[in-house]
Amino acid sequence: MRIELRERTEENVRTYFARTRDPAIQAVLPQASRTVEQALEAYRQSLAPGSASYGRTIWAEGAYVGDIWCYGIHQEPDPDAMLSFCIFAKERWGQGIATQALRQFLAGIVSRFGLRRIGAFLYEDNSASRRVLEKAGFALQERWIEEGRASLYCIYTATKEENAMTFTQESNRIFCERDGKTLAEVTFPEAGPGVVVIDHTWVDGALRGQGAAGQLMQAVVELLRADGRKARATCSYARAWLAKHPEAADVLAPDWCDGPEACRLRF
């Protein structure tokens, strides 16, 4: 199943608010916004520079089915952020959508914000969400009773490879610099309206074996997905990485792998 994470809009916020009035959803998902106006204001605040929250909409086979978001980004020393998600389309429950979306979202926010540990609260009787968290690598940290209902606190710890780099993003380049020295970069110049070509991937030898090139590619995919752009690839590493990650297919142009290879991953 093709799962996409897309940028949120005010229309999405209104739809999400209406769909999550369902009693079955409200029973397992506490919500801060009591009115659609409050939900819209929270969304607008999330767009401000330096916002401590970040969210995406979840799409399954082209249909909007839910939201996933993190909040409290870098507001506390541990964890670095909190996470929540909801598939409001109940007819889609049990299809693995939340699991795929969560894995995509985690990869994106770890590289985007340099997160190390991500927390999540849930009710103990919400067994479906607990399974989703466990499949994504969350581990139970605490259990307690509040107002007669058992709750759980789970933590996801990013691996060294996931969290090795913090990237700077430009329109057609993503790179990592330390002490003024470029340690890794990927470039993707415009190839036409809404289409880029990933033509160059480079990683310094000091980062060999740390998954740096894969992090670069994941960051490219997240950026292109957020911008609504498609990609072709002439870089041999980019081609190989994209071929091994079918979850990135939604950002690929139909002719993404046509033409000769033009570069190789260099150390």
User: In CATH, what number does 3-157 get?
Assistant: 3.40.630.30
Cα 250 from Cα 265, distance rounded (Å): 23
Pair 5, 105: CB distance under 8 Å: yes
pLDDT of residue 167: 81
Residues of the chain with CATH 3.40.630.30: 3-157, 168-251
pLDDT of residue 58: 97
Write the burial class of residue 11 (CB in 10 Å: 0-12 exposed, 13-18 middle, 19+ buried): exposed
pLDDT of residue 113: 79
**Side chain identity, residue 204:** D
Using the CB atoms, write b or e for 249-265: b if 16+ within 10 Å.
ebbbbeebeeeeeebeb
Dihedral angle, C-alpha 108, 113, 115, 119, nearest 10 °: -80
Q: Report yes or no on whether pTM surpasses 0.75.
A: no
pLDDT of residue 150: 95
pLDDT of residue 261: 55
pLDDT of residue 265: 43
Q: Find the length of the chain.
A: 267
Cα 51 from Cα 47, distance rounded (Å): 7
In the numeric block, which tokens belong to residue 249? 């297919």
Cα 242 from Cα 237, distance rounded (Å): 9
Q: What is the 3-state secondary structure (H, E, C) of 34-92?
A: CCHHHHHHHHHHHCCCCCCCEEEEEEECCEEEEEEEEECCCCCCCCCEEEEEEECCHHH
| 168-251 CATH fold | Aminopeptidase (3.40.630)
Among all chains, which residue has been given the structure tokens 């190989």? 240
pLDDT of residue 161: 54
pLDDT of residue 76: 79
Digits of tens for pLDDT over the chain (267 positions)? 889 999 999 999 999 999 999 999 999 988 888 899 999 999 999 888 878 899 999 999 999 999 999 999 888 778 889 999 999 999 999 999 999 999 999 988 887 777 889 999 999 999 999 999 999 999 999 999 988 999 999 999 987 555 556 788 888 999 988 667 888 899 999 989 999 999 999 988 756 555 778 888 999 999 999 989 999 999 999 999 998 898 899 999 988 887 655 554 443
Cα 17 from Cα 43, distance rounded (Å): 11
